[in-house]
Structure formats: structure tokens, C-alpha cells
């Protein structure tokens, strides 16, 4: 009898896993590939991407001729990991490449012509821009005029006309191949990894490894995973394989800087995907946002354990400082929401707001309102504003920003569907606001009408077990484009409800099966749901919905619900 019961459990777990994978896009006959996403099963031929072979050949020439190469990165996590990946690849190939990360406040986003020309004057024959450059026409024209070769490795949206580069590798080129365009969801670090693969293959064909070992590119997947998750790239297909395999590399703690970063984050267990977005990524970002822009790359490429520890601690302190600045800007920005109820896109601007936190604040406001949000830091002295926006599924903010730039409403701007950045003259703010609201009104309305909470499973309290959580986690890693399952548990009665921490709602609920469980809703104390469960739950039954997690604070692990919504059951 016991054997049959165990077999039934295994069969049930397999059915749940298969259902979770299929509802996220896996074909019924392709379950095995998606259940264990590996690079072998998802990595495309890099040569399918426009200019990939050109870039690999030019880099191979530079290595053979011992030319000075500089990697020009962006100051966010995707830029830092992309730069670190290529620096580490070139080091492993016996070439000591340099890197350059612009200052967010003094230089802004993307390569400047002045910086590229100066790097050329300092001896860099070849510059590789990562996570930037796709729209840098003027800067790359200046570099070409100065005799500096530039390779662009990017993932942001491109215009019809491309800037003058030796090679421009970007799956979001308008002339990209079908296979390349199918990978438009890659973060820049993913594109950089494909370039590393192409480079090693080119050097192999040239006989470069006859007397030296090939680099271990799989060991770079910790960088790819961090950059992919932190840049909120869609976690399906190749990206999911990148993150699944990268988490295994992270767990080995072989990269000195990454291990120090995990220690500074008090992360002693093997990391999961959410740790990259909420613990490790923000610390790397803090350097570029309010500190020194090179700190992230320095940490990720250092060979010195003591330097790694110091850098990780410095980034953690900066992250705390960033949180305080962010809270002040968010409070001021939310104060402007009252007059924007009818707007499709919330555009919030203020003087003195720190440009390093506006993207985070835009994301917070987007989550709170369910609408795209743009937060702009105005500089009265210069008469300009620097903005950062975050969008909702179904609304392509990057394309709208490019259109606004082409209509001369912006000094500069670009991005991708879910995030964008821009610079505008302060006197064009009203025109820009009107343009964006009119352009995106229909898309936002359609997207919001389609917003529903989709549930994967409905359970009685007794079904909420650690075994279920492990089955659910097996269908991960989860993120944008591959959402973590939502589960409804009920009907239940509220045994206890209270506020813990600053503003978190904690609930103990029980059902007719005489089983109880804990649920917690973070930062939800003032929500209508919390107030109902706190004060109006007596004698009522509810269905509670959210994501299942393991609570390992007690003597033995238990399953809990991270509560997102509640509904009356009768």
C-alpha cells in the first residue's frame, strides 16, 4: 500500500510540473527540455545574428595583433556584468583588456564621442560597447573620424539607420534574421555571452588553442544570470537556461567578487533567481546610481579576496544610502499622482530628485498604479530633465520613446518594451507628456482590461505542503515572461491577522480539513485587502491567493503563502 501511495504522489507531482510548464508556453512534446533547461538545448548558433561573425573576426584580429581593447559598459547591472564577462573572456584568452564605465551624472547613458576619442588617443585601437551604443550615431561617427574601431553589443531598440560601427550585434536590429529576432528578449549580457562563444569558435578555427587551453565559458554564466534577472529580461527560452545554469555556478561561489557580494548580502544558502533581483543586483546598481560607476565591474573582475570584501561592503553601504534617497523621491513623486488619474502614463517630474534612483521609483509607481510610469529629475540650471520609465506588459514604452525623440520632443532617448531612458529640455515636458499620453492611451487601456490574476492551482489548506513548493520550484526559474505560479487556498477562515515589521500583513488561516497555514502580504498594511482581513473577517470565509514559499524559520520547513489577493468565499 505504501509503495502505491508513493507512486501516486510522484505521478501527481509530475502532472503538476507538466501543467505548469505547458501553461507557460512549453509544448506537450517538449516538456523534458523545459523541465531541465540547458544551454545544449537552447543555445542558438551565434552566426545567425547579424554582424556576429564580423565582431568575432575583428576581436580575433585584435588579439592576434595584441591591440589595446577597451570594453565600454553601462553603469547598471546589465552593463557591469556584460563588461565583466568580456573582460574575463579576454583575460582567459591571454589578452588584458581595459574597461570604461561612464559616470551617470556627469556623462549620462551611452557612449560619448569625447570619451571614445580620448580612449583612442590613449591607445585603444578597438572599443566594444556593451548594453549601449545602438543609437549612438554622433558618438560613433566621432570615433570613426578619429580612426577608432567600435563594436556595439546591445539589446535596446534600434532605428532604421544604424550608427557607423565595425559591427553592431543586437537581436533587436530591424534587419535581424528570424532566429536572431526570436532572441530579442536577451539582456545585453546574454548577447555578450554569444559573442564570447563566437570569438572562441573563431580562434579555434585559426588554431589559437593548439598550445593553450580554451576558456571555460560555462563559468561565466553566473554573470549572465545576474545581469539577465537584474535587467528584468523575460525568462523564457535561452534566458531561462542562462539563469538555471548560472544559479548552479553561483552556488559554487568560485568568483571571488560574487562570493563577497553574497556574503555582504548575508546570503549563506544557494541563491535563487529572486536573490539576484532583490539582493545582489541592487548592490551592484548602487555604485552606478549614487557612487562610483566602476565599482561593480571592479568587484566582478577582481582576483583579490580582500579587495572583493571591501568593494562588496562599500556597495552595501551605498545601497542603504540609495534606499533613503529613493524613499524621499518616491514620496515626492507619489504626491503628484493625485492630478493624473485620467492619464494613461504617469509622468512625474521634480527639481533636485537624484537621477540615480528615478528608474527604481518609476518601477515602484508602476507597480502601485498598474500604469506605465516615467520619473524625471529636472536640472533648473541646465534647463533639462533626465527621465527613466517602466512599463506594463503589452505596452511598448521603448518604441514610444524612440518616436518621441524622432519628433524632436527629446534630446536623447531609447530603451526596450518594459524600460526606457530619456533626456529632454524642460520646456518640452508638457509637449512630451501630451504626446506620450495620446500615443499609448489605447495600448494602456487594452493592457489594463486584460489584467487578471491567473491561478495555476486551487487547494485546500492541507494541500499546501513543502512537497508542493518543491514541485512548483522545479518549473522555475521564474521571472518576467515565465511567471511564478499563483495558488488559491480555500475556503478558509481567518484565525489571526496582525501587522508585523513596518507594514506587513500576517495571517493564520484554517480550513474545513482542520489544517492551517501562515500567509504574509508584504508592504500591504494599508491596502483594502489587509483592512478587510484585519477588521472584517469575523464569521466570513475567504479564498486567499498568492505564491507558495518555504518558511524555514522553525524547527522544520513549512509551506506558507505570500499573499497577493483575497476574495470572499460566500
pLDDT per position as a tens digit, 309-335: 999 999 999 999 999 999 999 999 999
Q: In this predicted model, which residue has the larger pLDDT, 389 or 553?
A: 389
Residue 171 lies in a domain: yes
Domain that holds residue 482: 454-568
Q: Quickly state the pLDDT bin for 174 (edges 50, 70, 90).
A: very high
Mean pLDDT for 463-478 is 93
Rounded-to-integer distance, Cα 187 and Cα 271, Å: 20
Rounded-to-integer distance, Cα 250 and Cα 304, Å: 18
Residue 79 lies in a domain: yes
- Computed over its alpha carbons, how large is the radius of gyration of the chain? 25
Number of structural domains the chain divides into: 3
Mean pLDDT for 387-416 is 93
pLDDT at 3: 30
| 43-56 pLDDT per residue, tens | 999 999 999 999 99
User: CATH number for the domain including 93?
Assistant: 3.90.1640.30
Residue 33 lies in a domain: no
pLDDT at 219: 97
Residue 8 lies in a domain: no
Question: Which of 433, 449, 465 finishes a domain?
Answer: 449
pLDDT at 73: 96
Q: What does DSSP assign to residue 479?
A: B
Q: Say yes or no: 436 and 471 in one domain.
A: no
Q: Say yes or no: 361 and 295 in one domain.
A: no
Q: Say yes or no: 203 and 124 in one domain.
A: yes
pLDDT at 232: 87
pLDDT of 8 higher than 80: no
DSSP three-state, residue 157: coil
pLDDT of 499 higher than 60: yes
User: CATH number for the domain including 483?
Assistant: 2.40.50.460
Q: Say yes or no: 421 and 542 in one domain.
A: no
Q: Say yes or no: 347 and 265 in one domain.
A: no
CB 392 within 8 A of CB 370: yes
Question: Which of 449, 481, 506 finishes a domain?
Answer: 449
pLDDT of 12 higher than 60: no
Q: Say yes or no: 438 and 498 in one domain.
A: no
Q: Per mean pLDDT, which range of 37-46, 101-110, 192-201, 303-312 is the poorest?
A: 101-110
Q: Quickly state the pLDDT bin for 554 (edges 50, 70, 90).
A: low
Q: Say yes or no: 85 and 198 in one domain.
A: yes
Residue 484 lies in a domain: yes
C-alpha cell of 386?
533626465
| 86, burial (CB in 10 Å: exposed 0-12, middle 13-18, buried 19+) | buried
Q: Say yes or no: 205 and 271 in one domain.
A: yes
In whole numbers, what is the pLDDT of the chain averaged over residues? Answer: 93
Can you name the residues that pair with 458 across neighbouring β-strands? 488
What whole-number percentage of the chain has pLDDT above 70?
Answer: 97
Q: Say yes or no: 494 and 432 in one domain.
A: no
| 441, burial (CB in 10 Å: exposed 0-12, middle 13-18, buried 19+) | middle
Q: Quickly state the pLDDT bin for 6 (edges 50, 70, 90).
A: very low
Residue 163 lies in a domain: yes
pLDDT at 1: 25
Q: What does DSSP assign to residue 276?
A: I
Mean pLDDT for 267-288 is 92
Mean pLDDT for 192-198 is 98
Q: Say yes or no: 410 and 478 in one domain.
A: no
pLDDT at 452: 77
| 427-437 pLDDT per residue, tens | 999 999 999 99
Rounded-to-integer distance, Cα 383 and Cα 426, Å: 5
Q: Say yes or no: 471 and 439 in one domain.
A: no
pLDDT of 5 higher than 70: no
pLDDT at 109: 79
User: CATH number for the domain including 416?
Assistant: 3.10.310.30
Q: Say yes or no: 481 and 429 in one domain.
A: no
| 436-464 pLDDT per residue, tens | 999 999 999 999 887 678 899 999 999 99
Residue 3 lies in a domain: no
Mean pLDDT for 159-187 is 96
Residue 35 lies in a domain: no
Mean pLDDT for 291-319 is 96
pLDDT at 13: 59
Question: Which of 300, 317, 334 finishes a domain?
Answer: 317
Amino acid at each position: 500500500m505504501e509503495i502505491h501511495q508513493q507512486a501516486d504522489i510522484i505521478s501527481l507531482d509530475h502532472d503538476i510540473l507538466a501543467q505548469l510548464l505547458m501553461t507557460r508556453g512549453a509544448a506537450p512534446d517538449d516538456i523534458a527540455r523545459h523541465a531541465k533547461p540547458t544551454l545544449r538545448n537552447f543555445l542558438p548558433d551565434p552566426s545567425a545574428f547579424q554582424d556576429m561573425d564580423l565582431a568575432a573576426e575583428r576581436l580575433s584580429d585584435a588579439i592576434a595583433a595584441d591591440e589595446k581593447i577597451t570594453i565600454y559598459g553601462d553603469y547598471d547591472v546589465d552593463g557591469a556584468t556584460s563588461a565583466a564577462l568580456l573582460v574575463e573572456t579576454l583575460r582567459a584568452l591571454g589578452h588584458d583588456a581595459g574597461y570604461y564605465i561612464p559616470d551617470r551624472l556627469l556623462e549620462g547613458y551611452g557612449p560619448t564621442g569625447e570619451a571614445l576619442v580620448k580612449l583612442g588617443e590613449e591607445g585603444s585601437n578597438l572599443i566594444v560597447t556593451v548594453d549601449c551604443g545602438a543609437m549612438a550615431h554622433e558618438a560613433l561617427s566621432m570615433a570613426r573620424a578619429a580612426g577608432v574601431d567600435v563594436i556595439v553589443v546591445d539589446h535596446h531598440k534600434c532605428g532604421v539607420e544604424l550608427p557607423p560601427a565595425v559591427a553592431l550585434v543586437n537581436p533587436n536590429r530591424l534587419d535581424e534574421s528570424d532566429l536572431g529576432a526570436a532572441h530579442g528578449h536577451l539582456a545585453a549580457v546574454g548577447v555578450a555571452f554569444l559573442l564570447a562563444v563566437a570569438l572562441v569558435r573563431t580562434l579555434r578555427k585559426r588554431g589559437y588553442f593548439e598550445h593553450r587551453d580554451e576558456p571555460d565559458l560555462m563559468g561565466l554564466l553566473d554573470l549572465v544570470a545576474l545581469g539577465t534577472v537584474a535587467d528584468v529580461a523575460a525568462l523564457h527560452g535561452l534566458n531561462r537556461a542562462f539563469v538555471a545554469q548560472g544559479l548552479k555556478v553561483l552556488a559554487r561561489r568560485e568568483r571571488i567578487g560574487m562570493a563577497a557580494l553574497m556574503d555582504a548580502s548575508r546570503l549563506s544558502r544557494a541563491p535563487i533567481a529572486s536573490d539576484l533581483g532583490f539582493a545582489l543586483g541592487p548592490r551592484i546598481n548602487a555604485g552606478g546610481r549614487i557612487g562610483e560607476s566602476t565599482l561593480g565591474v571592479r568587484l566582478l573582475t577582481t582576483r583579490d579576496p580582500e579587495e572583493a570584501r571591501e568593494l562588496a561592503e562599500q556597495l552595501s553601504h551605498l545601497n542603504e544610502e540609495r534606499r533613503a534617497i529613493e524613499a524621499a523621491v518616491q514620496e515626492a513623486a507619489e504626491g503628484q499622482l493625485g492630478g493624473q488619474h485620467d492619464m494613461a502614463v504617469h509622468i512625474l517630474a521634480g527639481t533636485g530628485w537624484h537621477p540615480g534612483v528615478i528608474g527604481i521609483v518609476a518601477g515602484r509607481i508602476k507597480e502601485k498604479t498598474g500604469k506605465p510610469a516615467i520619473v524625471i529629475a529636472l536640472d533648473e540650471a541646465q534647463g533639462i530633465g533626465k527621465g527613466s520609465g517602466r512599463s506594463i506588459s503589452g505596452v511598448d514604452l521603448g518604441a514610444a520613446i524612440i518616436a518621441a525623440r524622432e519628433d524632436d520632443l527629446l534630446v536623447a532617448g531609447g530603451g526596450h518594451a518594459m524600460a526606457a531612458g530619456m533626456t529632454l529640455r524642460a520646456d518640452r515636458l508638457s509637449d512630451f507628456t501630451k504626446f506620450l499620453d495620446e500615443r499609448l492611451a489605447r495600448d494602456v487601456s487594452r493592457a489594463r482590461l486584460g489584467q487578471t490574476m491567473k491561478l495555476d492551482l486551487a487547494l485546500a489548506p492541507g494541500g499546501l505542503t513543502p512537497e508542493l513548493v518543491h514541485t512548483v520550484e522545479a518549473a522555475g526559474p521564474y521571472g518576467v515572461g515565465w511567471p511564478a505560479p499563483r495558488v488559491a487556498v480555500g475556503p478558509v477562515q481567518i484565525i489571526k491577522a496582525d501587522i508585523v515589521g513596518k507594514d506587513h500583513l500576517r495571517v493564520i488561516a484554517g480550513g474545513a480539513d482542520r489544517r492551517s497555514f501562515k500567509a504574509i502580504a508584504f508592504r500591504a498594511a494599508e491596502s483594502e485587502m489587509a483592512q478587510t482581513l484585519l477588521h472584517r473577517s469575523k464569521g466570513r470565509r475567504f479564498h486567499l491567493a498568492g505564491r507558495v514559499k518555504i518558511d524555514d524559520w522553525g524547527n522544520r520547513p513549512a509551506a506558507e503563502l505570500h499573499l497577493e489577493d483575497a476574495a470572499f468565499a460566500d
